[in-house]
Amino acid sequence: MRRTLQLGIPAAGVSAAIACLLGSAALAGPARHRPAARLGDAVNFISACRFSHRAPDDPIVSPAKPGLSHDHSFVGNTATNAYSTLQTLRLGSTTCQRPADTAAYWMPTLLVANKPVAPVSATIYYRRRTTDRVQPFPAGLKMIAGDSHATRPQSLRVTYWNCGAQAGTPPSSTVPTCAATRSASLRLHVNFPSCWDGKHLDSANHRSHMAYPQLGGCPSDHPVAVPSLTVIFRYPVSGGAHVELSSMGQYSGHADFFNGWDQQALRRLVDDCLNARRHCARGD
């Protein structure tokens, strides 16, 4: 059974109250131009990270099995490899502007005419998507968003391509061709679930311990609200039909997250920004 908001108003006014609280996008179904528009879009903190390295490793799907995965591009923790653990991540350095962010983030490597292209940078948004108080990710949490085996378009609320917020190119399941301007270049966006079951740091399919919120609430079997993570990789190319991912094709967008943050710093940001309903600059 899904958790419902107890608003203390007549049933006839519930929809209007929810719309006021969450914004009309939450009730209107998938929005074509803003697929991630939900509660908390304006309440966030950001981790801006540079590219670190590439490797055919995946410490979540194929731990301790180097070379078994399709190629990945890593940002954040510089020590991420097939053998990564919470302890090794804590000892690693980071490419992120926030020194306390030693988490690992990775996506399938972008290929242009079958040649790998490293992202110029990554922007990771930590947002609030529920009316419940947000808890920091537990140390060592692992999760995946998006489908690495997708051969058809995925939901635009989970992953999409565009050319940047100022380019005017709507989100798309296929790679667009971006205009040749300074502000326009190819981006891949992946949105993670933000409700945790409160028990498991991982699960057999690396997904079941997490869930997406609905109408500002977490499901009863995933009752713990955690930050809503959006990972955006920016590439130095304009896109087009000759672009694909190392996980095959253009539809298989996905991303992985392994929490290796300094927990004290993460908790401070969650409380001072997300729970305080305050947008925080990159240096906060």
Q: pLDDT tens for residues 223-269?
A: 999 999 999 999 999 998 899 999 999 999 999 999 999 999 999 99
Residue type (1 letter), 27: L
Closest to 57 measured CA to CA, from 259, 258, 203, 204? 258
- What pLDDT is stored for residue 138 in this prediction? 98
- What pLDDT is stored for residue 7 in this prediction? 34
- What pLDDT is stored for residue 165 in this prediction? 86
Positions in the chain whose pLDDT score sits under 50 = 1-37
Q: How far apart are CA 172 and CA 134, in angstroms?
A: 30
Question: What's the angle, vertex CA 50, arms to CA 170 and CA 235, rounded to 5?
Answer: 35
* Residue 239, strand partner residues: 177
Q: How far apart are CA 127 and CA 260, in angstroms?
A: 18
Measured in whole angstroms, the distance separating CA 267 from the mean position of its chain's CA atoms is 18
Closest to 259 measured CA to CA, from 147, 107, 100? 100
Look up residue 196 and give its two tokens.
């945790």
- What pLDDT is stored for residue 24 in this prediction? 31
CA dihedral 111, 114, 115, 116 (to 10 degrees): 30
- What pLDDT is stored for residue 16 in this prediction? 36
- What pLDDT is stored for residue 19 in this prediction? 35
- What pLDDT is stored for residue 166 in this prediction? 85
- What pLDDT is stored for residue 178 in this prediction? 94
